[in-house]
Amino acid sequence: MVCACAGAHAASADELESATLRKIRDTGTIVLGVREAAVPFSYIADGEHATGYSQDIALRIVDAVRATLGLPGLQVREVPVSAQDRIQLVQNGSVDLECSTTAHTRERDSQVAFSNSIFVYGVRMLVKRGSPVKEFDDLAGRTVVTTTGTSEERLLRRWNLAHGMNMRIIVAKTHAASFDEVKTDHAAAFVMDEPLLYSALASGRDGNDVRDYAIVGKPVSAEVYACMFRRGDDDFKHLADDVIAKMQRSGEADTLYRRWFEAPIPPSGVNLQMPMSPALKALFADPNDRPLD
């Protein structure tokens, strides 16, 4: 097994059992899958490169790859991915590492591999303030929107069938488009990861969104985000897991959280004002790669 520890010697060609590391070494480039609008995890703020909480973790993994391969000049190429194509692009080799808002679920374990978890969150709802929808049971017989290709879409369809909710479920291509369905009264609620709902509200802090909308409902489930890469590469997984565990145990992940969730962020300086949850604190104290679904 190769080691990305500080001071470790660069791995030779014979030492590289990792197919991903061999590909990166042979091309001199690591390809990162990035999101264009998953604020504050992975998004384009300057019109060129991705930034965000998850992207910062990806770049720390890149640093470990540089050290392992002894390639200080390793190039980073960013490939935009969406909720619909991200898994396929990892599977077919177009993307080596994807760190954004991909939920680690047991179903996805058969398709790709996941690192230690980088974030824990609950699934909640964004509604118009004053809406009769307060909890998930209130969605019975109503139109609900979520973003296509997400774990929430599958969750809603299972919930609808299992509980006989008679919901009409519509899907939008982006989180912004899902929010628009609530704004225009085409849907009673936008169901999504809690931090992405906070992001949707924060993006409108210069308008009426904060006072006109609310995030409600006891979380119907808890899930985790993790970095994603191709299956069957234990050495690359060990490298990524080691980076993430060290960040979480050292306090670096706490600092990263405060930067992206409790302080002004680019490009417009909005502050999500989202305190760290007890579940995330517990993850940082005990790094692991367990899905919660």
Over 70: is that where the pLDDT of 12 sits? no
Query: How far apart (Å, rounded) are the C-alpha atoms in residues 14 and 260?
Result: 40
- Parts of the chain belonging to CATH 3.40.190.10: 13-120+223-285, 121-222
* DSSP category for residue 275: P
What six digits make up the tokens of 147?
A: 């973003």
15, pLDDT greater than 70? no
Using alpha carbons, select from 249, 292, 288, 233 the residue that is nearest to residue 118: 288
Average pLDDT over residues 106-122: 96
Q: Note the pLDDT of residue 11.
A: 52
* CATH number of this structure's domain 121-222: 3.40.190.10
Q: How far apart (Å, rounded) are the C-alpha atoms in residues 163 and 170?
A: 18
Query: What does the pLDDT read at residue 293?
Result: 81
- The residue-averaged pLDDT of 263-277 equals 90
Architecture of domain 13-120+223-285: 3-Layer(aba) Sandwich (3.40)
- Residue 8: pLDDT band (50, 70, 90) is very low
One-letter identity of residue 277 = S
Helix (H) or strand (E) holding 65: helix 53-69
User: Does residue 116 surpass a pLDDT of 50?
Assistant: yes
Q: For residue range 63-113, list pLDDT tens digits in order.
A: 999 999 999 999 999 999 998 899 999 999 999 999 999 999 999 999 999
CA distances from 92 to 24, 96, 99, 177, 230 (A): 15, 10, 17, 29, 9
Q: What predicted TM-score, i.e. pTM, was given to this entire model?
A: 0.83
Q: What percent of the chain has pLDDT over 90?
A: 77
